């Protein structure tokens, strides 16, 4: 069976929460649920590290503005993780060239990451924190559900991931004005902090 749908789905999910993807796939492989998970993702040390990073993301992702800073750092991490996971899956199955799989997984992860980051910027224009928490929980559950479904029904899961990716792009376009508002507020805060700094250091007393 072609690993293409699993590559696409894991790429989409990596753009949202790469650590959850690696953790879930590793657990599925280690417990014998799936034979398509490479041994490198099943290693105990890998699972331990990504479990800790997943917990860090679970906390940071639910705090307004902290989630945006976390997303900024992971602009490079998530696409890279999506590419590596896709290449490893392709190498394990042998049904898809690793370079092609890496390109597909990485590019899909980048697009879904940009959708997530843009949506969070729009949500952060709201003063209350509950929308961040609700959205983060929905994302975590969505990644877990889609990856689990992909193990048993890869083509259906890939179709769902593709649909969610398109809907996410449409949502970001719809929320473009709120995203611009968030950027203006952030730039304004930076300017206020810059002006608040003393021009010269205070003389010693």
91 vs 194, higher pLDDT: 91
How much is the pLDDT for 36? 85
Average pLDDT over residues 199-203: 54
36 vs 128, higher pLDDT: 36
Query: Does 182 score more than 60 pLDDT?
Result: yes
Query: Does 173 score more than 70 pLDDT?
Result: yes
The three-class DSSP label of residue 95 is coil
% residues pLDDT > 90 (the chain):
58
Q: Which long-range contacts (CB under 8 A, 24 or more apart) does 39-45 make?
A: 40/88, 41/85, 41/88
pLDDT band of residue 203 (cuts 50, 70, 90) is: low
- Greatest CA separation found in the chain? 76
Whether the CB-CB separation of 11 and 106 falls below 8 Å is answered with yes
């Amino acid at each position: 069976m072609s690993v293409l749908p699993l590559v696409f789905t894991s790429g989409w999910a990596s753009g949202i929460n790469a650590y959850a993807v690696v953790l879930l796939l590793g657990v599925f492989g280690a417990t014998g649920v799936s034979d398509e998970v490479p041994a490198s993702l099943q290693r105990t040390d890998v699972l331990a590290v990504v479990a800790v990073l997943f917990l860090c993301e679970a906390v940071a992702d639910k705090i307004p503005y902290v989630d945006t800073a976390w997303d900024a750092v992971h602009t490079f991490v998530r696409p890279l993780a999506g590419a590596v996971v896709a290449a490893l899956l392709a190498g394990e199955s042998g049904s898809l060239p690793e370079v092609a799989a890496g390109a597909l997984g990485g590019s899909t992860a980048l697009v879904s990451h940009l959708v997530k980051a843009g949506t969070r910027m729009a949500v952060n224009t709201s003063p209350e924190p509950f929308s961040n928490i609700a959205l983060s929980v929905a994302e975590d559950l969505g990644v877990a559900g889609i990856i689990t479904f992909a193990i048993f029904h890869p083509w259906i899961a890939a179709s769902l991931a593709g649909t969610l990716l398109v809907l996410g792009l449409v949502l970001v376009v719809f929320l473009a004005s709120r995203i611009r508002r968030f950027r203006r507020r952030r730039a304004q805060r930076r300017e206020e902090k810059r002006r608040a700094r003393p021009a010269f250091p205070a003389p010693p007393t």
